[in-house]
Amino acid sequence: MSDFPFSIVGFDLDGTLVDSALDLAPAVNHALVAAGREQVSLDTTRSLIGGGARRMLERALEVTGGPVAMSHFDELHELLLEHYTANIAANTLPYPGCLDALDVLTGHGCKVAVVTNKSEVLARLLLGQLGLTERFASIVGGDTLGRERAKPAPDLIHETVARCGGGSFAMVGDSTFDVLAARNAGVPVVALSFGYHDVPPGELGADVLVDHFDDLVEALAALG
């Protein structure tokens, strides 16, 4: 019997398990061009990610001239999603060491799960195209329970624990959405120093900050 302290480890998706900015950036810029706006750089796109596609587009519009009418926004959002869905795994890859860390956690008897604010349909599409779906005991998205219950609300974490049959849980993520969701759920959280941060990594407020997936399992073990 493993003495690992957690029976379930939940992972954010974009900026945590996978580096998806190379596919999100063209989708954002597709919408911005349709809005008559300047395109944004890859680095800028990384700072826009978090909270789902609508929030990402809202930020992109904010930094390129300000908001648009809601009817126009909805059209742009659809354009973004269409472009992204058609190219969702063109360049996206798991971060170095990610798959090895998942294997080690599974070897410890942990169930690993995806807890993302990306829509569940897009999360499952991306994981399926990357051949990763079967690794996860549960996949919940920002719309699985309704957007008002997405991170930083604790609901997706509670749902994940229930779907995994209960047990001790730790969260792994890269943004305040992940850290605050964990805090609101009363569970430990590890943040990654890479990924897509909405504040500097050291200000996320996680229990532990790690620089590489090679350090993740040891960091989780220490939290027990």
Distance CA 64, CA 44 (A): 11
Q: Is the peptide bond before 5 cis (omega within 30 degrees of 0)?
A: no
Distance CA 84, CA 102 (A): 26
HSE, CB side, 13 Å, CA atoms: give it for residue 181. 33
Hey, what domains does the chain have and what are their CATH numbers?
A: 8-19+92-223 (3.40.50.1000), 21-86 (1.10.150.240)
| Strand, coil or helix: 188 | coil
Residue 207 φ/ψ, nearest 5 degrees = -70, -35
Distance CA 47, CA 197 (A): 6
Residues 6 or more apart from 146 whose CB is under 8 A from it? none
HSE, CB side, 13 Å, CA atoms: give it for residue 55. 16
pLDDT at residue 1 in the model: 43
**Measuring CA to CA, which residue among 223, 98, 93, 94 is closest to residue 170?**
223
Is the distance from CB of 122 to CB of 133 less than 8 angstroms? no
- pTM to 2 decimal places: 0.94
Distance CA 49, CA 27 (A): 12
**How big is the CA angle at 149 (ends 154 and 69), to the nearest 5 degrees?**
135
Walk across the sheet containing 189-192 and list its strands.
138-140, 111-115, 8-11, 169-173, 189-192, 208-210
Structure token pair of residue 210: 């790690």
Q: Catalytic amino acids?
A: 12
Is the distance from CB of 6 to CB of 220 less than 8 angstroms? yes
pLDDT at residue 51 in the model: 83
pLDDT tens per residue, the chain (224 residues)? 468 999 999 999 999 999 999 999 999 999 999 999 999 999 999 999 988 899 999 999 999 999 999 999 999 999 999 999 999 999 999 999 999 999 999 999 999 999 999 999 999 999 999 999 999 999 999 999 999 999 999 999 999 999 999 999 999 999 999 999 999 999 999 999 999 998 999 999 999 999 999 999 999 999 98
